[in-house]
Amino acid sequence: MTRVKRGVTAHARHKKTLTLAKGYFHGRRKLHKTANETVMKALSYAYRHRRTRKRDFHRLWIMRINAAARLEGISYSQLMFALKTAGIEMDRKVLADLAVQDADGFKAIVDQARAALPASA
């Protein structure tokens, strides 16, 4: 049986890991074992946080809408109900951006939604 020299394959695999470890300090950048541990952990964090980022933004939008709505004298939940009743289909991202960038436009939407509410609510 012929001899198989694996140096090229191992070197390529190590180089791939060390390339991903660019920007790390000391052995985390230079030593394969340490760099590999760090890169694996970083990749798992990146995967996890790509999902939590979506939650974080959703929470931020709700906080911004709530703050702007309370300045108009209505709570977040009442505003969302009023928007649904009025048939205004705006997502939270757009509403939050409107609340921050264009207070008058947000006020107009709140007034329009409030007008669509039944008298008892």
Domain ranges within the chain, ordered by starting residue: 7-116
- Which pTM was predicted? 0.78
- Note the pLDDT tens digit of each residue in 58-82: 999 999 999 999 999 999 999 999 9
CATH of 7-116, one of 1.10.1900.20, 3.20.20.80, 1.10.1060.10, 3.30.565.10: 1.10.1900.20
pLDDT for residue 117: 86
More confident position, 17 or 119? 17
Distances (CA, A) of 103 to 49, 55, 81, 87: 32, 25, 20, 21
Residue percentage of the chain with pLDDT more than 70:
98
HSE-up (13 A, CA, CB side) for residue 18: 13
Q: 3-state DSSP call for residue 98?
A: helix
pLDDT at position 25 over 80: yes
